[in-house]
Amino acid sequence: MKPVAAEIDLHDIVRSADPARYFANQFVPAIYRNDVFLLHGFDLEIRKIARTIREPMAGEIRLQWWREVFQGSRTTEAAASPLAQMMLDFSQRHSVGPQIWDNYLDGRIFDLYDDAVEDLAAFEAYAGQTEGTVLQLACLVLDRGQSSSASQVSGYLACVLCLWNRVLQPVLYANQPPTAELVARISRYLPPQLRQSAGFVANPFLESKDVDIAQAVSEICAVAETYLEKARAAADAVPATLRPAFLSVAPIATQLSKIRQHFDLPLPMTESSKSGLIWRLWRSSKRWPYF
CA triple 162-108-120, angle to 5 deg = 45
Averaged pLDDT score across all residues of the chain? 92
- 188 closest CA partner among 210, 213, 162: 162
Q: Using an 8 Å Cβ cutoff, are 161 and 247 in contact?
A: no
Predicted confidence band of residue 200 (pLDDT cuts 50, 70, 90): confident
Q: Of all residues in the chain, what percent carry a pLDDT higher than 90?
A: 79
- Alpha-carbon distance of 184 to 278, in angstroms, equals 33
Residue 3 has pLDDT above 50, yes or no: no
| pLDDT at residue 159, as a whole number | 98
Predicted confidence band of residue 202 (pLDDT cuts 50, 70, 90): low
| pLDDT at residue 178, as a whole number | 79
pTM of the model: 0.93
- Mean pLDDT for the stretch of residues 235-256: 97
Chain-centroid distance of CA 159 in Å reads 9
Q: Using an 8 Å Cβ cutoff, are 33 and 91 in contact?
A: no
Predicted confidence band of residue 264 (pLDDT cuts 50, 70, 90): low
pLDDT tens, position by position, 6-51: 457 899 999 999 999 999 999 999 999 999 999 999 999 999 999 9
Higher pLDDT, 289 or 178: 289
CA triple 14-114-120, angle to 5 deg = 80
